[in-house]
């Protein structure tokens, strides 16, 4: 099917040419009201005064792909539906499909035998959804260029991630590394560790490219529809797909693309695939990369420092953007694709009626210089460095916007690895912006953030969204609304994938003391200054980056806790404030970042509880050509020695300034198959573990 181009000559056109509300007509803007007793969820939407309107309402579990429960078919006079078949503490998702005469889809009329001109809306909701103690493991790939100059900022990032419930698997990556070697590192973590959910690419981690986009018979048009933008595009989602056999580098021959980096030839390290289907992305991926942005006049290190500092400030509640959304639509309905509908749909679930539409001519920038918006969406014909009606990379470099999350859509800048690319510019600018995504082909699915999900989760949902029959969802009521390029390799998140919509102010001044001959630990803190705090949760681990167990919960009026079962040796504690969060999608228990501190305690009962294996872990085992070691130490020197079955030392390696977030890589490709003993030690302790090499 030939798709609509997004021509560069439209750059000068603004919202004056297209009705600003037209894309909004393709979104059913849902919000929810919840009641605990008796439990009920009411879904609401605006009145449509058109004649012949029908609504079809469906429900599913949050992780199901199929909308299984058909709740109602309603006429145009109805603007809400109450579901009493719900239970507090559970999550539900609703889909409202609106058939409206006069809508077209891809230029086809309403009576087409194939196309169904529906407007769609989605909302994930629940009543007092429980708080999460753990979010899983996050692979943190750190650009080696930042390890020393940004050591303090990276440590703060790690503490924030750990405090949000993530366990970190860190690897420092050189810029000369290959895409293949990076993928092997990621795949090794995924295969050897449980519950690995997220991947944070911090810096100029090697960029995968994939695709044979070409406007010719047998090929797909590029996602922005421009024949000169053919070949391979950046494809970070390659790092999140674990079926390596689905990727090839043998078939695409394209030496004509306008941007040299897009040209793709057999054996050049760029993959052939335009789409990941039938595979799927298993990791929530986000990238923060400021290399090759000379328009900002600062080094990529300085831009990264600025980003990490403003991300930290947002996570601890120091950036207070108004809970509202902004849309600047400079394309209009575009034969029913209605790119900006992917802003209107989730913004309603997040902000209810607090969604503002502005025209072109730079109103997007003007509005957010003085007024804050938690989310913003902008469309316009583009180039690598501009969005028609919105602004340019240079505009961002010179501006400071009060906006945290954003989506942009237009030609060329979906190819985000280009110099001064406008998709990366919002993150680099000195304002509040922390994320940006090219959203419009396909649509971004962001509404679960309103009920506590992180943006990486929603990005993965968007990347995997597919109706198995054809593009036009929801013909079979699977997944979410689609237009072109579902499961395409190009959809990527610029920004920290762990970010959530509603930060909670943390506790302050956490203090730890021991009593009873150091056997018990007393924690005291200053309570959170946030509203609707319901309690405080206290957690403990034997390592900064270890597994934190919930010790207990205290009332919101309390600010002390005594641990009568402290571990022998070092104890790491976290205290989190818990808030009952209310949004236009329901209510959920939201946690602040955990404030951490550490103290030593003693048990005085028989032998020490210290278990060497608890401080040093080795994986995978059996191994092939490499294995990794995690050490529960902070800024320590670690020596690793490998002995054969006869006790002869065959390999020794020393690591300096080791942190608990790091995974120490051991290359054993030169050793023969068999059984070995690995001795791992620092200045305080030592352990020996058996290792099997099997290829």
Are residues 21 and 123 located together in one domain of the fold?
yes
pLDDT of residue 657: 87
Q: With beta carbons less than 8 A apart as the criterion, state whether 224 and 163 touch.
A: no
Say what percent of the chain tops pLDDT 90. Answer: 75
pLDDT of residue 106: 54
pLDDT of residue 463: 96
Q: Is 43 inside a domain boundary?
A: yes
Weakest-pLDDT range from 61-75, 177-191, 292-306, 549-563: 61-75
Closest CA to 486 of 444, 440, 442: 442
Total domain count for the chain?
Answer: 3
Q: Is 158 inside a domain boundary?
A: no
Q: With beta carbons less than 8 A apart as the criterion, state whether 472 and 466 touch.
A: no
Give the mean pLDDT of 317-338.
94
Provide the 3-class DSSP secondary structure of residue 16: coil
Weakest-pLDDT range from 35-49, 378-392, 474-488, 574-588: 474-488
Are residues 329 and 447 located together in one domain of the fold?
yes
pLDDT of residue 220: 79
Q: With beta carbons less than 8 A apart as the criterion, state whether 397 and 405 touch.
A: no
pLDDT of residue 221: 85
Residue numbers of the domain that contains 671:
612-693
Weakest-pLDDT range from 1-10, 222-231, 426-435: 1-10
Residue found under tokens 């209810």: 352
Structure tokens at 333: 């309905």
pLDDT tens for residues 157-184?
999 999 999 999 999 999 999 999 999 9
pLDDT over threshold 80, residue 615: no
Domain boundary among 571, 601, 631: 601
Residue found under tokens 């052939």: 272
Is residue 648 very low, low, confident or very high in pLDDT (cuts 50, 70, 90)?
confident
Are residues 437 and 305 located together in one domain of the fold?
yes
Are residues 650 and 584 located together in one domain of the fold?
no
Q: With beta carbons less than 8 A apart as the criterion, state whether 189 and 240 touch.
A: no
> What value, to the nearest 5°, has the Cα angle with vertex 630 and ends 313 and 281?
65
Weakest-pLDDT range from 525-534, 588-597, 604-613: 604-613
Q: Is 220 inside a domain boundary?
A: no
**Maximum separation of any 2 CA atoms in the chain, in Å:** 86
Are residues 481 and 515 located together in one domain of the fold?
no
Is residue 607 very low, low, confident or very high in pLDDT (cuts 50, 70, 90)?
very low
pLDDT of residue 644: 85
pLDDT over threshold 70, residue 437: yes
Is residue 117 very low, low, confident or very high in pLDDT (cuts 50, 70, 90)?
low
Q: How far is CA 434 from CA 52, 193, 317, 367, 472, in A?
A: 43, 29, 14, 18, 32
44/96 Cα distance (integer angstroms): 10
Give the mean pLDDT of 608-617.
54
Are residues 522 and 482 located together in one domain of the fold?
no
pLDDT over threshold 80, residue 354: yes
Are residues 596 and 617 located together in one domain of the fold?
no
Domain boundary among 495, 529, 561: 495
Q: Is 219 inside a domain boundary?
A: no
Q: Is 177 inside a domain boundary?
A: no
Q: Is 19 inside a domain boundary?
A: yes
Q: With beta carbons less than 8 A apart as the criterion, state whether 338 and 105 touch.
A: no
Q: Is 464 inside a domain boundary?
A: yes
The CATH number covering residue 655 comes to: 2.60.40.3080
Are residues 387 and 462 located together in one domain of the fold?
yes
6/468 Cα distance (integer angstroms): 26
Are residues 360 and 475 located together in one domain of the fold?
yes
210/626 Cα distance (integer angstroms): 27
Q: HSE on the CB side for 131, CA within 13 Å?
A: 22
Q: With beta carbons less than 8 A apart as the criterion, state whether 529 and 562 touch.
A: no
Closest CA to 106 of 96, 118, 121: 118
Give the mean pLDDT of 329-346.
93
> Helices 151-163 and 300-315 meet at what angle, rounded to 10?
30
Closest CA to 41 of 127, 146, 164: 127
CB atoms within 10 A of CB 242: 16
Q: Is 445 inside a domain boundary?
A: yes
Give the mean pLDDT of 688-693.
88
pLDDT of residue 477: 66
CB atoms within 10 A of CB 51: 9
pLDDT over threshold 90, residue 114: no
Are residues 444 and 473 located together in one domain of the fold?
yes
Are residues 519 and 473 located together in one domain of the fold?
no
CB atoms within 10 A of CB 506: 24
Are residues 490 and 357 located together in one domain of the fold?
yes
pTM of the predicted model, to two decimals? 0.89
pLDDT over threshold 70, residue 610: no
Q: HSE on the CB side for 458, CA within 13 Å?
A: 32
Give the mean pLDDT of 276-282.
93
Structure tokens at 630: 């995690």
Give the mean pLDDT of 320-334.
95
The CATH number covering residue 518 comes to: 2.60.40.10
pLDDT of residue 482: 83
pLDDT of residue 6: 57
Weakest-pLDDT range from 52-61, 278-287, 376-385: 52-61
Is residue 218 very low, low, confident or very high in pLDDT (cuts 50, 70, 90)?
low
Of residues 501 and 10, the one with the higher pLDDT is: 501
Domain boundary among 460, 495, 530: 495
């Amino acid at each position: 099917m030939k798709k609509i181009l997004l021509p560069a000559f439209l750059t000068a056109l603004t919202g004056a040419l297209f009705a600003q509300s037209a894309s909004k007509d393709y979104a059913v803007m849902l919000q929810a009201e919840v009641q605990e007793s008796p439990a009920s969820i009411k879904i609401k939407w605006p009145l449509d005064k058109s004649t012949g309107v029908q609504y079809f309402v469906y429900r599913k579990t949050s992780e199901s792909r199929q909308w299984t429960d058909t709740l109602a078919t309603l006429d145009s006079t109805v603007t809400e539906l109450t579901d009493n078949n719900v239970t507090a503490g559970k999550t539900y998702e609703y889909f409202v499909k609106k058939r409206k005469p006069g809508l077209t889809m891809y230029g086809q009329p309403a009576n087409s035998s194939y196309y169904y001109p529906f407007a769609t809306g989605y909302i994930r909701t629940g009543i007092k959804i429980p708080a999460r103690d753990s979010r899983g493991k996050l692979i943190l790939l750190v650009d080696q260029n930042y390890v020393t100059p940004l050591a303090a900022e990276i440590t703060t990032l790690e503490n924030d991630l750990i405090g949000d419930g993530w366990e970190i698997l860190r690897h420092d990556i050189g810029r000369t590394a290959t895409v293949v070697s990076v993928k092997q590192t990621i795949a090794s973590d995924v295969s050897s560790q449980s519950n690995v959910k997220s991947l944070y690419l911090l810096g100029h981690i090697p960029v995968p490219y994939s695709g044979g986009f070409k406007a010719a018979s047998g090929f797909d048009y590029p996602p922005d529809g421009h024949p000169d933008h053919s070949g391979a595009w950046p494809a970070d989602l390659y790092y999140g797909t674990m079926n390596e056999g689905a990727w090839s580098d043998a078939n695409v021959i394209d030496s004509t693309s306008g941007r040299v980096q897009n040209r793709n030839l057999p054996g050049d390290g760029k993959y052939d695939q335009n789409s990941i289907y039938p595979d799927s992305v298993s990791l929530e991926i986000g990238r923060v990369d400021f290399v090759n942005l000379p328009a900002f006049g600062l080094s990529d290190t300085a831009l990264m420092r600025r980003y990490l500092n403003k991300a930290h400030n947002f996570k601890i509640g120091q950036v207070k953007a108004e809970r509202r959304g902004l849309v600047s639509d400079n394309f209009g309905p575009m034969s029913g694709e209605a790119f900006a509908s992917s802003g209107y749909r989730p913004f309603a679930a997040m902000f209810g009626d607090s969604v503002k539409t502005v025209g072109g001519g730079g109103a997007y920038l003007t509005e957010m210089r003085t007024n804050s918006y938690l989310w913003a969406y902008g469309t316009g014909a583009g180039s690598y460095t501009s969005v028609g009606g919105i602004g340019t990379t240079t505009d961002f470099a010179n501006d400071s916007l009060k906006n945290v999350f954003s989506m942009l859509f237009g030609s060329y800048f979906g190819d985000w690895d280009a110099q001064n690319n406008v998709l990366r510019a919002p993150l680099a600018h000195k304002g509040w912006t922390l994320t940006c995504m090219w959203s419009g082909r396909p649509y971004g699915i962001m509404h679960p953030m309103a009920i506590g999900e992180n943006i990486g989760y929603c990005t993965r949902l968007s990347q995997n969204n597919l109706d198995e029959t054809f593009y036009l969802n929801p013909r079979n009521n699977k997944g979410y609304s689609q237009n072109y390029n579902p499961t395409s390799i190009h959809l990527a998140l610029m920004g920290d994938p762990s970010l959530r919509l509603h930060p909670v102010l943390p506790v302050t001044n956490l203090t730890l003391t021991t009593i009873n001959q150091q056997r018990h630990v007393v924690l005291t803190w200053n309570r959170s200054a946030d509203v609707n705090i319901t309690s405080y949760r206290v957690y403990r681990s034997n390592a900064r980056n270890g597994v934190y167990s919930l010790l207990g919960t205290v009332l919101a009026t309390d600010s002390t806790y005594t641990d009568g079962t402290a571990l022998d040796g070092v104890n790491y504690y976290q205290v989190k404030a818990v808030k009952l969060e209310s949004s236009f999608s329901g209510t959920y228990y939201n946690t602040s970042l955990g404030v951490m501190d550490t103290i030593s305690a003693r048990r005085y009962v028989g032998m020490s509880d210290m278990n060497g294996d608890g401080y040093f872990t080795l994986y995978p085992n059996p191994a092939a050509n490499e294995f990794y070691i995690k050490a529960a130490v902070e800024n320590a020197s670690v020596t690793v020695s490998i002995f054969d079955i006869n006790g002869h030392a065959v390999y020794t390696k020393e690591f300096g300034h080791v942190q608990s977030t790091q995974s120490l890589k051991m290359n054993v490709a030169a050793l023969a198959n068999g059984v070995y003993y690995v001795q791992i030690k620092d200045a305080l302790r030592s352990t020996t573990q058996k290792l099997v090499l099997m290829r």
